[in-house]
Amino acid sequence: MKITDIPFGTTDWSTVEVTEHVGTTGKAFWRTRQFGHIRVRLLEYTPGYLADHWCEKGHILFCLEGQLDTELADGRKFTLTPGMSYQVADQAEPHRSCTALGAKLFVVD
């Protein structure tokens, strides 16, 4: 990721519009800001959320609240709790997320 041509700024996430994304089960609520080619999101997954696709986009993801379980297409599984993060490159390892308890995440991609 190369960050260019973005002036200093702040974001009050409580003022950013929420969009709803339905998973195979549960829902995801996104607050999204776009800065050139960089997307920054505050995500909230409801308890019981399961993504409806395998994602191949690269992310840097930080868990703020709850618990996030991420499965890679090769079968490996990882659990994030508050204060943990993961990073993965574009087209590197297909992954999908789920959460039994719900989760709040900060994502840059």
What's the pLDDT at 4? 84
- CB count within 10 Å of CB 5 equals 7
- Asked if the model's pLDDT at residue 3 lies above 90, the reply is no
Which domains can be identified in the chain, with CATH numbers? 43-109 (2.60.120.10)
Q: Which residues contact 12 (CB under 8 A, 6 or more apart)?
A: none
Per-residue pLDDT tens for 71-92? 999 999 999 999 999 999 999 9
**pTM, full prediction:** 0.92
Q: To the nearest 10°, the Cα dihedral for 39, 88, 66, 53? A: 80
Q: Roughly how many angstroms between the first and final C-alpha of the chain, as a whole number?
A: 8
DSSP annotation of 17 reads P
pLDDT in tens, 46-74: 999 999 999 999 999 999 999 999 999 99
Contact 84, 107 (CB under 8 A): no
